[in-house]
Copies of this chain bind each other. A is one copy, B any other.
């Protein structure tokens, strides 16, 4: 039974909610009522599900009791948590890779405990001080993975494979978020990384918004969709408007509702179905009133983009879709 507009799971990203409150307290250490407040706001914006973005709460750092408290809180509010997104915890960070790897393992354990279907990770690293000074951090260059360095690439493959195997044992999909200037920064490199890892439950999170907002020439989004969707198992969706005036060396981008930005999600979604995509969708919006635009994005998807009935042709994905698969099958490529 394929998903339809009515039941396709869509999460709200929690990017807008800071990890510390006005008094400087980490939300991780806050009272459960603080968690309930955010989750209620998300639910009231129209969401049945949230992506537990760890810039807000880090489930991998919660004790067993606190994690149970979190699960209970979400249950009381009545919001599902089918995904955890761990942000800027690269397992090939030059000094912190071992910490990040351990954290990612704990995040997978937490995901299993919360009953999540997906954990999304990436290779992006902390925003630089120069990036922090900008209105939009992506308008200056940030961290870059070393292109062509076989050892580092190999480390990425083996460490993510280790996480993937753990995830498979836990019955969870691992999804790799695309992000500029990392090994997940181009369509070809991203696909290569998934192929090198070689586990059915490890796929891509084609967060193309991250890539089309850059103030420099970019890959064509249609080509990125064509290349990456066959390997995708989760999808951070957001959009930007973009103008280029090459003769004037001008590249202008701004956050936009999904409906009216550069990426044509109507077309992208047709491609997704044609290659068997049945992953969870996550609507995001970075900038301004992110939650309200995120809610508009969900409405746009359910009204215009998702299939009205389940009788549609669905292609065959290169990676596992959804948690229906038993753990053994998830792991066995």
A interface vs B, CB < 8 Å?
16, 44-45, 134-136, 139-140, 215, 239, 241-267, 287-293, 295-296, 300, 304-305, 308
Q: Contact at A266–B291, with CB atoms within 8 Å?
A: yes
Q: Contact at B255–A252, with CB atoms within 8 Å?
A: no
Query: Could you tell me the distance between the alpha carbons of A134 and B245 in the complex, rounded to whole angstroms?
Result: 8
Knowing that A243-B252, A266-B289 are A-B contacts, what are 9 other residue pairs whose CB atoms are under 8 Å apart, sorted by A's residue number? A134-B246, A139-B247, A241-B256, A243-B254, A248-B249, A258-B289, A259-B292, A260-B289, A265-B289
Question: In the complex, which of the residues B244, B290, B292, B304 contacts A292, with contact meaning CB atoms closer than 8 Å?
Answer: B304
Most interface-central of A247, A261, A287, A292 (chain B CB within 10 A): A292
Min distance, Cβ A184 to any Cβ of chain B, angstroms: 23
> CB-CB < 8 A to A16: which residues of B?
264, 267
Query: Could you tell me the distance between the alpha carbons of A267 and B291 in the complex, rounded to whole angstroms?
Result: 10
> CB-CB < 8 A to A265: which residues of B?
289
Q: Contact at A256–B252, with CB atoms within 8 Å?
A: no
Whose C-beta in chain B lies nearest to the C-beta of A285? B260
Question: In the complex, which of the residues B259, B288, B296 contacts A261, with contact meaning CB atoms closer than 8 Å?
Answer: B288
Min distance, Cβ A244 to any Cβ of chain B, angstroms: 4
Query: Could you tell me the distance between the alpha carbons of A291 and B266 in the complex, rounded to whole angstroms?
Result: 9
Q: Contact at A288–B304, with CB atoms within 8 Å?
A: no
Q: Contact at B253–A243, with CB atoms within 8 Å?
A: yes
Q: Contact at A287–B304, with CB atoms within 8 Å?
A: no
